[in-house]
Amino acid sequence: MQKFIAMVGTNSTNSTNRKLLTYIQRHFADKAEIELMEIKDLPLFNKPEDRKVPAVVTEMANKIDAADGVIISTPEYDHSAPAALMNALEWLSFHITPFIDKPVMIVGASYGALGTSRAQEHLRQILDAPELRARIMPSSEYFLAHSLQAFDDDGNLVDEQNIKKLDGLFADFQIFVKISDQLKNAHGANYEEVRNLDWNK
């Protein structure tokens, strides 16, 4: 069975993005082992001179590295991904390399009608940065709009069309992960290149 990390892309205590990932974890329990990963307790990234990352970041990086893929659910604040998520990715690309060639699926829940479309586009750019180099599943946008009304009292999605699309995208992601596992010819070179990056030189 495939193992995925589901990263809650917000430090908000009450988030429909966390609710969406919890639903994904439960809904696909027979297809994959999915572990929720919180970012709300991370310190503010400060580029430490000794290049040491906090223990909580190391633990997160190890879990991502061991996973077959990562699902990130992002809110949208001011047409962008939230600062807390960018902070987490800054830590997870600071002289550590868990995202290199790691398959990533992006989803998002929003109170409004656009369903995090701009935030997801921004997040794709970040994950494609030289320090991260994640392998992002193409043409896979899942926008959960009007998310306050999207779940019932048990945390289940209520709209059949939303469920059907999520089912299809998750099945595609599982295939994408298998295909990505075969695309490792440049992985060693990518790893060395990222490890040797030094913007101060």
Predicted confidence (pLDDT) per residue in 66-82, tens digit:
999 999 999 988 888 99
Predicted confidence (pLDDT) per residue in 109-123, tens digit:
998 887 788 999 999
Residue 192's pLDDT is 80
State how far Cα 18 lies from the chain centre.
12
Give the homologous superfamily in CATH for domain 2-195: Flavodoxin domain (3.40.50.360)
Instruction: Name residue 36's beta-bridge partners.
Output: 6
Return all residues near 75 (Cβ < 8 A) that are at least 6 apart. 9, 10, 12, 15, 17, 81, 82, 108, 109, 110, 116, 119
- Prediction pTM value: 0.93
Burial class (CB in 10 A: 0-12, 13-18, 19+), 56: middle
